[in-house]
């Protein structure tokens, strides 16, 4: 039974250029999180404003956004990813992951944004309107700066959460850090080392952001 089959390596140990592979995958994590956080924050602010605008939007939009906060992200991803091909529009993992993460982020940010708007005392807003500001001027020059300071830490928490939750897009097959770790574990059979390295990668992405916002929060408190 001897043949050239034994010459092929089906498993191979962890190599230095696998670090490069992981770095590329970290780029994948950053890319999809950056898209989700920026677009999601934009829509989230919009939704947050809509939630405070009237009772009707608060009720309807609120209950729609509530769904995204009440169903596990992994289920949302699988549902969305499998729904589009059914209607004849196959969608790649990156697009599906981005769209679901954007929805998910905007649902979380909407709550934060509403909190920010509500954090601005009504008396302050009445004062700005009495000074002759229009509704939008009041929004831009009073509510935005004051509200932003109130909820920036909460927003940072959401952003960090999305960065970490983007790991779940790996189940769709999008190549990001976690997916890369599974590929490497399959090839090298060294789970502990690889999980540790990937953990460090995530830590390196997440920790600086969490420290910066903590500092910012402290500084603003004494401002």
Partner 1 sequence: MDYTFHWRPVTKAIPDLLDAALLTLEAATLSMVIGIVLGMGLALLRLHGNRPLYIFATVWIEIARNTPALLQLFFFGFGLGAFGWHLSPFLIVLCGLSFNNAGYLAENFRGGFQAIPDTQIKAARCLGLTATQTYLRIVIPQVFRLVYHPMTNQLVWAVLMSSLGMLVGFRELSGETQFLASNTFRLFEFFLATAIIYYLLVKVVLGTSHLLSRKLFRY
Partner 2 sequence: MKTFTKQVMSAAMVAAIALGYGAAAQADKLDDVIDEGKLRCGVVLDFPPIGYRDANNKPAGFDVEYCQDLAAALDVDAEILPVTWAERLPSIVNNRADVVFGGTSDSLQRAKTVGFSIPYAIYYAQAIVRKDSGIKSFEDMKGKRVAAAVGTVPEKEFLKLAKEWGTEDLYQGYQSENEVFLAVAQGKADAGITTNTAVKPVAQQFDSLAAGPRMPWTTDYTSVVGPRKDQGWLNYLNLFVTHQVRSGRYQELWGKYVGGGAPELRIPNVFY
Note the residues at the interface with partner 1 (CB under 8 A): 67, 69-76, 78-79, 82-83, 86-88, 160, 164-165, 167-168, 170-171, 178, 181, 185, 190-192, 195-196, 198-199, 202-203, 206-207, 210
Q: Which is nearer to partner 1, 9 or 70 (CB)?
A: 70
Q: Which is nearer to partner 1, 142 or 180 (CB)?
A: 180
Residue 42, SS3? helix
Q: Which is nearer to partner 2, 26 or 120 (CB)?
A: 26
Give φ, ψ of 5 to 5 degrees: -60, -35
Rg (CA), the chain: 22
Judge whether 48 and 40 are in contact, CB under 8 Å: no
Query: Token match 């010459």: residue?
Result: 7
CA distance linking residue 97 with residue 23, whole number of Å: 20
Q: What string marks each residue from 4 to 23 as x (binds partner 2 by CB under 8 A) or -? A: xxx-xxxxx--x-xx--x--
The first and second tokens of residue 17, run together, are 């250029």
Question: Per rule CB under 8 A, is residue 87 in the interface with partner 2?
Answer: yes
CA distance linking residue 118 with residue 130, whole number of Å: 19
Instruction: Supply the minimum distance, in Å, between the C-beta of residue 72 and partner 2.
Output: 17
Question: Per rule CB under 8 A, is residue 189 in the interface with partner 2?
Answer: yes
Nearest to 179 by CA among 24, 13, 33, 2: 24
Question: Per rule CB under 8 A, is residue 63 in the interface with partner 2?
Answer: no
- Residues contributing to the site for partner 2 (CB under 8 A): 1-6, 8-12, 15, 17-18, 21, 82-83, 85-90, 173, 182-187, 189, 191
């Amino acid at each position: 039974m001897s043949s050239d089959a034994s010459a092929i390596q089906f498993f191979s140990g962890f190599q230095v250029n696998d670090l490069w592979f992981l770095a590329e995958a970290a780029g994948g994590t950053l890319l999809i999180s950056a898209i989700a956080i920026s677009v999601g924050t934009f829509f989230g602010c919009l939704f947050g404003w809509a939630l405070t605008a009237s009772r009707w939007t608060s009720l309807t939009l609120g209950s729609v956004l509530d769904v995204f906060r009440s169903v596990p992200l992994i289920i949302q991803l699988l549902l969305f990813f499998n729904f589009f091909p059914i209607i004849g529009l196959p969608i790649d993992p990156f697009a599906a992951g981005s769209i679901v993460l954007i929805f998910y982020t905007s649902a979380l940010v909407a709550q934060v944004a509403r909190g920010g708007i509500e954090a601005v005392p009504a008396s302050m807003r009445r004062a700005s309107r009495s000074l002759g500001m229009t509704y939008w001027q009041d929004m831009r020059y009073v509510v935005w700066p004051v509200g932003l300071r109130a909820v920036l830490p909460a927003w940072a928490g959401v952003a960090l959460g999305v960065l970490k939750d983007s790991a779940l897009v790996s189940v769709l097959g999008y190549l990001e850090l976690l997916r890369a770790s599974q590929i490497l574990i399959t090839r090298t059979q060294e789970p502990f080392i690889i999980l540790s390295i990937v953990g460090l990668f995530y830590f390196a992405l997440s920790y600086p952001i969490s420290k910066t916002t903590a500092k910012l929060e402290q500084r603003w408190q004494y401002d």
